[in-house]
């Protein structure tokens, strides 16, 4: 089972990726992890990627695809894998196909931008411990205070409404063409495209994904 997981920041992609990989015994593959591993291992592709990144440029699709091809040769990918955050663009999706890496299923988690901004801007963090709260869904016992230490909670810059809005703008600009691409492929090829309402509870979303993947 070879899966691509799409969805905007704050839609619960990371959590659902963990559930899917655990339930179906496949690895969770992200380009960020692959880059860090390759650079740490000082492989040829890792060295090339590091040089590109050190120069302030984006790592080319050619290097990324090379890393993907190396990664999926490992034993843990024999029954499939889940791509999270890749491909990001149509050229990357085309390069996957040209490399004969055939995707079986594309899952898109959908969630209205307004709900994402509400979810993310409501997060509060106790920085020393990493404990996380939400002003609406998981509030601390005392407003603005960590339950354990009583110390002040902070709102990360990444969770400010204006920052979240910018991230969403970038996501839709990059990913909307990819959504159209894979929806079209699902009509023309054997790729199965599944759209999931991410506004429901984590359990409801996970149960629906499991049902559809096993069906």
Best CATH choice for the domain 2-27+74-111+169-214 from the list 1.10.760.10, 3.40.50.300, 1.10.10.10, 3.40.630.190:
3.40.50.300
Residue 13 is a catalytic residue: yes
Which sequence spans correspond to the domains of the chain?
2-27+74-111+169-214
Whether the per-residue pLDDT at 27 is higher than 80: the answer is yes
Whether 119 is a known active-site residue: answer no
Choosing from 50, 69, 88, 183, the catalytic residue is 88
Residue 167 appears among annotated catalytic residues: yes
pLDDT band at 122 (very low <50, low <70, confident <90, very high): very high
Q: Which tens digit of pLDDT belongs to each residue from 174-211?
A: 888 999 999 999 999 999 999 999 999 889 999 999 99
pLDDT at 70 over 80: yes
Instruction: Please indicate whether residue 131 is annotated as part of the active site.
Output: no
More confident residue, 82 or 45: 82
Active site residue 192: no
Predicted pLDDT of residue 145:
97
Q: What is the per-residue pLDDT for 156?
A: 92
Question: What are the CB-based long-range contacts (under 8 Å, 24+) for 201-209?
Answer: 202/12, 202/15, 202/16, 205/12, 205/16, 205/109, 206/16, 206/19, 209/16, 209/19, 209/20, 209/107
Mean pLDDT over 113-142 rounds to 93
Selecting among 69, 131, 165, 167, the annotated active-site residue is: 167
Catalytic residue among 2, 13, 71, 119: 13
């Amino acid at each position: 089972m070879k899966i691509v997981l799409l969805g905007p920041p704050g839609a619960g992609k990371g959590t659902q990726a963990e559930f899917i990989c655990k339930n179906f015994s496949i690895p969770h593959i992200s380009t960020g992890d692959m880059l860090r591993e390759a650079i740490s291992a000082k492989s040829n592709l890792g060295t090339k990627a590091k040089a590109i990144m050190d120069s302030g440029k984006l790592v080319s699709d050619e290097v990324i695809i090379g890393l993907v091809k190396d990664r999926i040769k490992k034993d843990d990918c024999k029954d499939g894998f889940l791509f999270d955050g890749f491909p990001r663009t149509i050229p990357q999706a085309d390069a996957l196909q040209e490399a004969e890496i055939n995707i079986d299923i594309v899952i898109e988690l959908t969630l209205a931008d307004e709900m994402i901004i509400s979810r993310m801007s409501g997060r509060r963090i106790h920085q020393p411990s990493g404990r996380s709260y939400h002003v609406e869904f998981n509030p601390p016992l005392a407003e603005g205070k960590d339950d354990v230490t009583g110390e002040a909670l902070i709102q990360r810059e990444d969770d400010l409404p204006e920052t979240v809005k910018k991230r969403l703008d970038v996501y839709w600009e990059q990913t909307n063409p990819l959504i159209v691409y894979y929806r079209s492929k699902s009509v023309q090829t054997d790729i199965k495209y599944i759209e999931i309402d991410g506004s429901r509870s984590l359990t409801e979303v996970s149960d629906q994904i499991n049902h559809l993947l096993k069906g």
